């Protein structure tokens, strides 16, 4: 399948997990054909390179001989009962960490790994590790081995305020898509929990212990949930040691910081990757408060542009 991602993947402005336009028509066609023809397996054809990312080869997701073993999970695939059983059963497959997982009327399961085709597919997607390697969901979505974890709010005193970037706990993956990110103004309470600055509702636990397995560290964000907390819980996408406290701290509720300015950008480039890249700059020994002001000024300039393509190009060439 050859696709223009910018054309295909438009979503409903009221629902980030619902396609509109060509994408909706494309997925609906696959859905109806799968229900009518009841195939053993359906896979999209992946381009070798997309947006600079090396994609799985066609043979990795669409073997030409049977019986076959998949090497990678395709961006969009439909799996019959035989494959569902091979992957550990219906309940397990329906819990696959992917952008869309849907049980079709004929019993097959449709899986779309990422909203944007081949997003960050240069390395294994969590769905690959979960379905093909058979690891637990928490391990499948844990950060890559080269990422060191640290909570930028760990040094905050009670009543300090800032801005976290969160994703729903069911959307935890190794690389977060921009459409899944939520900017949340927060306050540190007396129990070292983050509370929503406006509503006072529980957001997550501040993680002060970053020893041990990465999956366990991620779980610590929701390890001590108050009885009054809402059922719809979120975790931070900023648990990386390269993101400093200065990026998330607010002097007052109406202020801005590096995180708010990055989140305001109209870009298809990964905002978490951009924050991590800026964070590595901020880790340099000679980085000063003036440098932080200059960084925020550069982000303000980018936010004034109205050409997404040029913004993307500038970020990739100058900031990543």
Query: Per DSSP, which regions of 69-140 are E strands?
Result: 76-79, 100-103, 109-112
State which residues form the domain around 109.
Answer: 5-140
What value does the mean pLDDT take over residues 285-293? 90
- Looking at the fold, whether 210 and 287 belong to one and the same domain comes out as yes
- Looking at the fold, whether 297 and 231 belong to one and the same domain comes out as yes
In a domain, 153, yes or no: no
- Looking at the fold, whether 171 and 92 belong to one and the same domain comes out as no
Model confidence band, residue 311 (pLDDT cutoffs 50, 70, 90): confident
* Among candidate residues 188, 176, 153, 163, the one with its CA nearest the CA of residue 264: 163
Residue 152 · residue 216 · CB < 8 Å: no
DSSP track, 219-251 = HGGGSS--TTS-SS-EEES---TTS-HHHHEES
Beta bridge partner(s), residue 183: 165
* pLDDT recorded at residue 193: 92
Both tokens of residue 132?
Answer: 């093909």
Q: How far apart are CA 34 and CA 42, in angstroms?
A: 8
- Looking at the fold, whether 304 and 260 belong to one and the same domain comes out as yes
Q: Supply the DSSP symbol for 182.
A: E
Q: What are phi and psi of 128, to 5 degrees?
A: -65, -50
- Looking at the fold, whether 134 and 175 belong to one and the same domain comes out as no
- Looking at the fold, whether 184 and 301 belong to one and the same domain comes out as yes
pLDDT in tens, 190-199: 998 999 999 9
- Structural domain count, the chain: 2
What value does the mean pLDDT take over residues 80-95? 94
Q: How far apart are CA 13 and CA 38, in angstroms?
A: 33
- Looking at the fold, whether 82 and 187 belong to one and the same domain comes out as no
pTM of the model: 0.61
In a domain, 156, yes or no: no
Domain end residue (candidates: 140, 172, 190)? 140
């Amino acid at each position: 399948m050859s696709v223009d991602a910018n054309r295909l993947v438009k979503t409903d402005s009221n629902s980030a997990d619902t396609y509109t336009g060509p994408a909706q028509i494309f997925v609906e066609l696959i859905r109806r054909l799968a229900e009518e023809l009841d195939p053993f397996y359906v896979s999209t054809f992946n381009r070798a390179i997309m947006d600079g990312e090396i994609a799985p080869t066609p043979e990795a997701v669409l073997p030409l001989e049977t019986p076959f073993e998949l090497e990678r999970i395709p961006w969009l695939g439909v799996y019959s009962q035989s494959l569902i059983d091979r992957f550990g059963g219906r309940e397990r497959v329906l819990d696959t960490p992917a952008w869309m997982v849907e049980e079709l009327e004929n019993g097959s399961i449709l899986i779309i790994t990422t909203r944007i085709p081949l997003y960050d597919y240069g390395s294994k997607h969590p769905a690959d590790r979960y379905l093909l390697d058979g690891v637990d969901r928490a391990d499948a979505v844990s950060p890559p081995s080269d990422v060191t974890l640290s909570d930028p709010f760990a040094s905050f005193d009670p009543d300090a305020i800032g801005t976290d970037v969160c994703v729903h706990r069911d959307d935890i993956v190794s690389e977060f898509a921009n459409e899944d990110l939520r900017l949340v103004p927060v306050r540190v309470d007396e129990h070292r929990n983050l509370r929503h600055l406006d509503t006072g509702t529980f957001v997550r636990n501040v993680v002060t212990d970053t020893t041990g397995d990465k999956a366990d560290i991620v779980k610590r964000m929701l390890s001590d949930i108050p009885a009054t907390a809402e059922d719809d819980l979120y975790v931070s996408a900023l648990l990386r040691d390269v993101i400093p406290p200065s990026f998330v701290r607010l002097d007052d509720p109406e202020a801005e910081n590096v995180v708010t300015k990055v989140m305001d950008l109209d870009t298809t480039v990964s905002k978490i990757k951009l924050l991590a890249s800026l964070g590595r700059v901020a880790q340099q020994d000679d980085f000063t408060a003036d440098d932080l002001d200059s960084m925020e000024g550069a982000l303000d300039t980018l936010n004034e542009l109205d050409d997404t393509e040029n913004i993307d190009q500038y970020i990739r060439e100058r900031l990543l």
